[in-house]
Amino acid sequence: MTLRSQVVAARTDDWRLEMAASITRRSGKGTINAIRKVWIDATSIQFALVIPDGSRSRLAIRIGLNLAADGEDRFQVGDRVTYTLLMGAAGEYPRVQDLMKSGIA
């Protein structure tokens, strides 16, 4: 590894550590209000619209194919779910990940 590539690798590692330190994780619970399919070119992506507990706004969370191994829908409208909200530096939009069922409403 050359000196230049070592410097680039060190800067990249520093940036990753800085970014990881500035991300705040918060768990949340809510109810799936709707499931929508969005088309981008020829590809469809499904989103669950979740109403967080104690809020009126909705979160759109990507759910992919939404199929269990037996072919049934994994998520349905009315399902109680938990998720992780990631909030970055000021000016960035929050991101949501780790959508899981937490019971039936």
Could you tell me if residue 72 is inside a domain? yes
Residues contacting 84, CB < 8 A, separation 6+ = 25, 26, 27, 28, 96, 97, 98
- Confidence label for 69 from pLDDT (cuts 50, 70 and 90): confident
pTM, whole model, 2 decimals? 0.67
- Residue 80 pLDDT > 90: yes
Supply the pLDDT for residue 33. Answer: 93
Could you tell me if residue 10 is inside a domain? no
Could you tell me if residue 14 is inside a domain? no
Could you tell me if residue 49 is inside a domain? yes
Q: Which residue has the higher pLDDT, 41 or 11?
A: 41
- DSSP run (H or E) holding 76: none
User: Model confidence over 32-48: pLDDT tens digits?
Assistant: 999 998 888 888 888 89
Could you tell me if residue 13 is inside a domain? no
Q: What is the CATH number of the domain that holds 80?
A: 2.40.50
